[in-house]
């Protein structure tokens, strides 16, 4: 069973930094696409950053140059380093994988989400 558990969200002042973690089980992050999404109150969930099995990364325009997605293969964990945070970054951040992943049970086309972690940027 694929499980994603996020942590690291908290309240921070504008200009501050946070690192979110996504601990995965049931999959190997180094061979599967992983991503971070966020959802602000009253808005749709939006893509923040993705990392492919080959290590290629992609970012939303609004976070380019400020956020960095990475993974630690030994810990089977994906990170989102967020710098120069702005009030508009306030949202619940979700870890995601799916749509074509390799699991111990075989190829899986389901989408999997973590429970989310709240990031609040406010003075």
At 32-63, the pLDDT tens digits run: 999 999 999 999 999 999 999 999 999 999 99
Please give the Cα distance from 47 to 95 (Å, whole number).
Answer: 10
Please give the Cα distance from 27 to 61 (Å, whole number).
Answer: 29
Please give the Cα distance from 17 to 2 (Å, whole number).
Answer: 29
- Residue 104's pLDDT is what? 87
At 74-123, the pLDDT tens digits run: 999 999 999 999 999 999 999 999 988 988 888 888 999 999 999 999 99
Give alpha helix (H) positions in 32-121: none
Residue 88 phi, psi dihedral angles, 5° rounding: -75, -5
- Residue 106's pLDDT is what? 87
């Amino acid at each position: 069973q694929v499980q994603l558990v996020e942590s690291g969200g908290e309240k921070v002042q504008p200009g501050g930094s946070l690192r979110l973690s996504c601990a995965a089980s049931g999959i190997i992050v180094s061979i599967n696409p992983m991503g971070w999404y966020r959802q602000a109150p009253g808005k749709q969930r939006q893509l923040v950053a993705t990392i492919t099995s080959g290590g290629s990364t992609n970012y939303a325009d609004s976070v380019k140059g400020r956020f960095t997605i990475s993974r630690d293969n030994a810990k089977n964990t994906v990170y989102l380093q967020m710098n120069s945070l702005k009030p508009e970054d306030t949202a619940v951040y979700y870890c995601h994988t799916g749509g074509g992943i390799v699991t111990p049970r075989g190829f899986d086309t389901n989408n999997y989400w973590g429970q989310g972690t709240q990031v609040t940027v406010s003075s």
